[in-house]
Structures are given as structure tokens and as C-alpha cells.
Amino acid sequence: MKSRRCAPLVTAAVVAVLNLFGAAHLSAQGAQPLRLATQELPPYQMIEGDRMTGIAVRRIRCALDRLDISYELYMTTWSEAQLGTQTGRFDGFFVGSSNAARAEFSVSSIPVVSESLAWYLPLNSEIDPNDAKDALRARYGAKFATSKWRYLHRNGYNVVMRPRDADSLLNMLLVGDVDVALEYELIFAHFLGERGLSESQFQKVPFRRQQMGAHFSKRFVEANPLFLKRFNESLQQCLVALQ
């Protein structure tokens, strides 16, 4: 059946992109589309013109299109994407790393994105963020309420700010509100490029590789026991095709 794509609907800071494909294969959903939420996080998820796009969006779309199901993608805040999945407003969210809190109400797919995390510091900084002794003698920052932000708190780092996005975090580093910023390399490179800056203007200290997947609510997975396996198989094909 020929697909029908609708322009984004903007209401109350939520952007919904609807994609309707033939008969749904979701037993518990019936005629109801699969509802996935995300946040604006260039270059993974973003709005360009009247369309949701980005690396992760293209991969998610590809996997769902191969399954020939109805689905809706919502652009909202990261906290609302996760809370909405907990409460049943959404069937899942993407992309995010796995952690204990998310595992309480959702099940992760195979990685949609695998990305390196790095510490960013001024060129003249003598701080070693991978040295536990420097955890308290510098001011650290990461995007508020993310796994990175929680990691810093959990491991005793001196976290002083609550940036809402990577662009705000970069600005805090530039004006000296934080001494060290923890962010994904591709995301930070995107915002550096928007400001006409380059990574060579900072110290970049590798931290670790992180895998980020789509997280589906346990309620949805239990009602559709074949879905996650089929989605993972479809996504794996898309990861190869979109290389």
C-alpha cells in the first residue's frame, strides 16, 4: 500500500510526524499506530523545514517502514518522552543508553547509534577528568537529567550547572561557567560547527563508547511479543543499508 506522509503538527511544544502504512501488525494496538517520542538532538534527531530528520530518525524510520506498520514520531522534551512511555502516552522513546531507571519500565532495542563520549576542556586546563582526584577540584557539566549527568553525580564529580541542551553546555564551557563538559563527540562537533569553532580549540579527552537504542515500554512489548525481535532484525538490515 502506498504510504501517506503528513506534515509535522506542532502543539504545546510537541511535534508529531505521522506515517501510515497499510495494516498494522501490532496485536494489542489494532488500528492504533505505534507511538515513539524523542527529543531534538542534532545531528541524531532534529526538525528541518517541515520534516523530522537526523541520523537516528532515518534509521528508526527505515526499520519501521520495513515492518509495514503504522507509526507516529513525536518531538518533545527528553523527560516527557520517557515519562510518556512510563504512563502509556507513548509506546517508546529514542535514542538513549540503557540504565537501571529506564529498565524498570522499558526494554531496549539493539543499538541505533554507537557513539564516543569525551571530556572537553580549555586548552590550558591541567584537569584530568579521568583522575578521581580531580573530581572535586573542577566544575563539571553535562546535559541535565541525562545518563551522563547522573553518572557525574553518582561518581562524586562537582556538578555545578544544569544545561538543558548541548548548545547551552558548550556556551557554559566557552564563558567559563564550567571547567569540563561531558558530551558525545558527534553532538558537540555539530554545535561547534554552528558557532564556527573547531575541536582543535579545546582539549578533548576520550571517555568511553556508548550505545544508544530505542526503548519500548514493557507494557507494549508484553502485548506484542514478536515485535522487538522483528524490529531488531529490521534495524540491523537498515544499519547495513544506510552505511
Is residue 6's pLDDT more than 80? Answer: no
Instruction: Give the pTM.
Output: 0.78
Grid coordinates belonging to 45: 534527531
Contact between 143 and 149 under an 8 Å Cβ cutoff? The reply is yes
CA nearest to 122, candidates 54, 217, 201, 21 = 201
Q: What was the pLDDT predicted at 50?
A: 84
Question: What HEC string does 107-176 produce?
Answer: EEEEEEEEEEEEEEEECCCCCCCCCHHHCCCCCEECCCCCHHHHHHHHCCCCECCCCCCHHHHHHHHHHC
Least confident window among 137-141, 144-148, 209-213, 238-242: 144-148
Is residue 201's pLDDT more than 90? Answer: yes
Q: Using CA atoms, how far apart are residues 72 and 218, in angstroms rounded to an integer?
A: 18
Q: Looking up cell 503538527, which residue turns up?
A: 9
Q: Looking up cell 538532538, which residue turns up?
A: 41
Q: What was the pLDDT predicted at 147?
A: 85
Percentage above 70 pLDDT, the chain: 87
Q: What was the pLDDT predicted at 145?
A: 82
How does pLDDT run across 68-122, given as a tens digit for each residue? 999 999 999 999 999 999 999 999 999 999 989 999 999 999 999 999 999 999 9
How does pLDDT run across 130-186, given as a tens digit for each residue? 998 999 999 999 999 888 999 999 999 999 999 988 999 999 999 999 999 999 999
Residues 6+ apart with CB under 8 A from 106: 85, 92, 93, 215, 216, 217, 218
Grid coordinates belonging to 171: 556556551
Is residue 38's pLDDT more than 90? Answer: yes
Q: What was the pLDDT predicted at 16?
A: 53
Is residue 17's pLDDT more than 60? Answer: no
Q: Using CA atoms, how far apart are residues 137 and 229, in angstroms rounded to an integer?
A: 47
Q: What was the pLDDT predicted at 125?
A: 96
For residue 211, count CB atoms less than 10 angstroms from its CB and return exposed for 0-12, middle for 13-18, buried for 19 or more. Answer: middle
Helix (H) or strand (E) segment spanning residue 53? strand 51-53
Contact between 127 and 180 under an 8 Å Cβ cutoff? The reply is yes
Q: How confident is the model at residue 31 (pLDDT cuts 50, 70, 90)?
A: low
Q: What was the pLDDT predicted at 11?
A: 32
What is the DSSP secondary-structure string of 185-240?
HHHHHHHHHHTT--GGGEEEEEEEEEEEEEEEEHHHHHHSTTHHHHHHHHHHHHHH
* pLDDT mean over 14-37: 57
* pLDDT mean over 42-64: 94
Alpha carbon 193 to its chain's center:
20
Parallel/antiparallel/unpaired status of strands 71-76 and 106-122: unpaired
Is residue 43's pLDDT more than 50? Answer: yes
Q: What was the pLDDT predicted at 242?
A: 83
